[in-house]
């Protein structure tokens, strides 16, 4: 069983409440969930948010989407992931995702899971050995036992907030794998941290979704290329 955990919160310091910002009439997280549900290698999706009252609207929105929600410590995000894993001992791998990526590519996630299993890795990322995909298509896959060990042993606050650094910071102790892209698209920004990022995502959905709800990375690239030539943004 392949488990995907989507971490989300309302208290973003740069763009508060962004996960519920409307994108073509739906909350941004609903658009991401819609895309993730197309993945063939994800068997269960869980949203991991905090117990803070400010995240109540987010939990309610996920419940409306029919997505399982786990709520835990706001800052110790690693503990949230481990709690989800502990409740699912049958999970063979866990995909980590963040809820500020509404252009996420489910085919990339499927390929990353395949690479992780083929390499029998403890940790697999499409940012290894270096970033080559657009910011916003980030995904990671971890062996449950390795992540649970991180939950027991990680003491660095950075490692507890960002979930996976305990694994990739210790390559001598963990088997690492990557899925690079050529040519690199690392110069592209498709994540949502600032108002201009959200405006870009809204334009992409407005242009592509009505005719092709399952638009992919190549469609976004073609749209951006057309815009750079002076066509519709």
List domains and CATH numbers for the chain. 2-191 (3.90.550.10)
Taking only the tens place, the pLDDT of each residue in 210-227 is: 999 999 999 999 998 877
The pLDDT of 147-176, averaged and rounded, is 98
Taking only the tens place, the pLDDT of each residue in 28-82 is: 999 999 999 999 999 999 999 999 999 999 999 999 999 999 999 999 999 999 9
Compute the distance between CA of residue 113 and CA of residue 81 in angstroms, rounded to an integer: 18
């Amino acid at each position: 069983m392949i488990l995907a955990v989507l971490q989300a919160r309302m208290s973003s310091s740069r763009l508060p409440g962004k996960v519920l910002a409307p994108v073509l009439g739906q909350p941004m997280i609903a658009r991401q969930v819609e895309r993730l549900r197309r993945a063939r290698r994800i068997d269960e999706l869980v949203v991991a948010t905090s117990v803070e009252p400010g995240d109540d609207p987010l939990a309610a929105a996920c419940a409306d989407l029919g997505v399982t929600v786990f709520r835990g410590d706001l800052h110790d995000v690693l503990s949230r992931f481990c709690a989800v894993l502990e409740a699912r001992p049958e999970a063979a791998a866990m995909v980590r995702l963040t809820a500020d990526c509404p252009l996420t590519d489910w085919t990339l996630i499927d390929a990353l899971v395949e690479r992780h299993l083929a390499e029998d890795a403890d940790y697999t990322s499409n940012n290894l050995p270096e970033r080559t995909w657009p910011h916003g298509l980030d995904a990671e896959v971890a062996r449950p036992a390795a992540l649970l060990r991180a939950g027991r042993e990680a003491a660095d606050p950075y490692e507890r907030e960002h979930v996976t650094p305990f694994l990739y910071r210790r390559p001598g102790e963990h088997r690492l794998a990557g899925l690079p892209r050529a040519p690199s698209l690392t110069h592209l920004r498709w994540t949502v941290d600032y108002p201009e990022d959200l405006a870009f995502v809204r334009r992409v959905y407005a242009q592509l979704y009505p005719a092709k709800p399952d638009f992919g990375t190549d469609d976004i690239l073609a749209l951006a290329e057309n815009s750079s030539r002076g066509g519709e943004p």
